[in-house]
Structure 1
Amino acid sequence: MGCRSHDDVTQRCGAQECGRGVYEEMSWGTLGTVRPFPNLHPERDALAVQTALDKKDVVTLVSILTNRNSAQRQLIAHSYRSIGQKDLNTGLKKVLSGDLLSLMLALMMTPLQHEAHRLRQAMEGLGTNEETLMEILCTRPAPQLKDTSAAYSELYKKDLEKDLKGETSGDFAKLIVALLHKDNVLGVVQRDIEALSTSLDSKKTDPGLWISILTSRDADHLNRVLMRLELERGEPLEKILEKKFSGDIRMGLKTLVQCIQSPHLFLAQRLVTMKVR
């Protein structure tokens, strides 16, 4: 996927405008595991990809496209289009198939397009993959979700919020929409603790209050609220939510709390437990 700064630049300016200067600004100490290929020549790579497609040389295709980061693959795709007036994805579809084709097409997406694609996949077919919806909506900041919504609209000519509402229902749908439009409202820690604690003492806990607070405060504020709420109630919040809610809203609130408390741990657990659907 590449480092955040690189992908952010790609999303803002597009492959046609980024040029080589992007790579010169990078600091190797801040890069992720997928690093920019040194001394990149997009035109040369595009010609090599074109030759590999003509010869159905899968090994060369995989070698090139998996050894470039996201922004570099966009530059290669642009050069490929300029050289042969053809779309690289179309060429890949003629030569590859199955899981390998799916992987290569995913690699050729920008990060925002890939996010939009995952959301679409989670809503297609029989049943909705609520866990994937929650993973993306809980762990991405509001500006990124706004950009993802725009990418979704561009790719599928559909409105993301309307599709999410159509695939979910009840309190869980309200949670999903609130996450899509996360806000950062200034709150008072003690007041939020009291409000949530009082709701837990009610015979039927109102999920609306939890949705409102947990989707409209910053992480530091919420961590203080949740930590003190656990101390006050004398048990982990996961157990509290397990007792007070049921169905999708219980899963949703538990996931949101996990992401607030430790987003990195949540994502690590997702990688361990994720199943292909």
Structure 2
Amino acid sequence: SGTDEKKIIEVFSSRTSEQRQQIKQKYKALYNKDLEEDLKGDLSGNFEKVVLALLDLPCEYEARELRKAMKGAGTDESLLIEILCTRNNKEIVNIKEAYKRLFDRDLESDVKSDTSGSLQKILVTVLEATRDETQQVNAELAEQDATDLYKAGEGRWGTEELAFNVVLAKRSYSQLRATFQAYEKVCGKDIEESIKSETSGDLEKAYLTLVSCAKDCPGYFATLLNKSMEGAGTDEETLIRILVTRAEVGYPVTCDTSHQLWEK
């Protein structure tokens, strides 16, 4: 009789992850069958990918994505950065636990063995999940951090990344916004410009991601979504990942983005 895709979209996209888990359990109780397995048989392509991803717990989905990024030859550093540098403490802890549960492996050890140098250091710092999450801003600390960042980067040749790692991975987002303003006064240019001139490659990408999220996290993901849809082909993997993991935390899944995928 065919699958009512419209109905599936309606049910799944308007529920929280927790509600989708309850639907899964209820389905199993009522029909003694796995909802995922039934849907796999009826769906295909991107539509199937999105629906199955929506049925995963966000932390488990992200753990699978991270494992995929590090498995086999070569590492997808961009994916490690996109997930690890944009999550709050609780999300990082949940991802680490899910990774252990699903693969019986330690996420931090895998990241250490699959990355090196400066990128490894910042990712390991982020994985400690010890960012201050209070809202208070300490103006003196902002000025001190801004000076430390200036000395570590623009103030001399070769960036001393330890100062950057501690500030970008440990300070609260509101504190960082104050630090970036203070930095501009000290340095005469914004923090992104300094990062671009002092670092390159994956380290630059990690630092810029941390700065973007501190300044405007929904804006960071909106830009990523936009990039995944511009040009000739849609980057479906990125699109699906953002739709699935970020819709949960208040980044609305827009009709436009959904249609890009459902149509394919």
Fold match (TM-score > 0.5): yes
State whether structure 2 residue 87 is matched by structure 1 residue 133: no
* Contact map agreement 1:171 1:208 (CA 8 A) in 2: no
Separation of aligned partners in 2, 1:203 and 1:216:
25
Q: Which of these residues, 192, 202, 222, is aligned with residue 248 of structure 1?
A: 202
Q: Which of these residues, 33, 38, 49, is aligned with residue 102 of structure 1?
A: 49
Question: 1:159-238, aligned counterparts within 5 Å?
Answer: 159-184=106-131, 188-200=141-153, 201-238=155-192
Separation of aligned partners in 2, 1:126 and 1:270:
26
> 1:199-245: CA deviations, max 9, x gaps?
22222111122112211111222211111112221112222111111
Amino acid of the residue matched to residue 38 of structure 2? G
The alpha-carbon distance between structure 1 residues 60 and 212, as it changes in their structure 2 partners (threshold 3 A), is closer
Amino acid of the residue matched to residue 146 of structure 1? V
* Contact map agreement 1:113 1:152 (CA 8 A) in 2: yes
Amino acid of the residue matched to residue 147 of structure 2? E
Greater relative contact order structure (CA < 8 Å, 6+ sep): 2
Q: Please report how far the alpha carbon of residue 270 of structure 1 lies from its aligned counterpart in structure 2 after TM superposition.
A: 1.0
**Other-structure match for 1:151:** 98
5+ long unaligned stretches in structure 1: 1-54
Amino acid of the residue matched to residue 122 of structure 1? A
Amino acid of the residue matched to residue 271 of structure 1? L
Amino acid of the residue matched to residue 54 of structure 2? L
Separation of aligned partners in 2, 1:161 and 1:99:
31
The alpha-carbon distance between structure 1 residues 228 and 59, as it changes in their structure 2 partners (threshold 3 A), is closer
Amino acid of the residue matched to residue 91 of structure 2? Q
**Other-structure match for 1:117:** 64
Q: Please report how far the alpha carbon of residue 122 of structure 1 lies from its aligned counterpart in structure 2 after TM superposition.
A: 3.5
**Other-structure match for 1:43:** none
> 1:18-71: CA deviations, max 9, x gaps?
xxxxxxxxxxxxxxxxxxxxxxxxxxxxxxxxxxxxx55353763564355133
The alpha-carbon distance between structure 1 residues 68 and 225, as it changes in their structure 2 partners (threshold 3 A), is closer
TM-score by length of 1: 0.71
The alpha-carbon distance between structure 1 residues 231 and 64, as it changes in their structure 2 partners (threshold 3 A), is closer
The alpha-carbon distance between structure 1 residues 261 and 76, as it changes in their structure 2 partners (threshold 3 A), is closer
**Other-structure match for 2:225:** 271
State whether structure 2 residue 3 is matched by structure 1 residue 57: yes
TM-score by length of 2: 0.74
The alpha-carbon distance between structure 1 residues 218 and 72, as it changes in their structure 2 partners (threshold 3 A), is closer
Separation of aligned partners in 2, 1:64 and 1:221:
39
Q: Please report how far the alpha carbon of residue 96 of structure 1 lies from its aligned counterpart in structure 2 after TM superposition.
A: 2.5
Separation of aligned partners in 1, 2:86 and 2:38:
34
**Other-structure match for 2:241:** none
**Other-structure match for 2:12:** 66
- Structural RMSD (CA): 2.5
5+ long unaligned stretches in structure 2: 133-137, 229-234, 238-264
Separation of aligned partners in 2, 1:138 and 1:91:
35
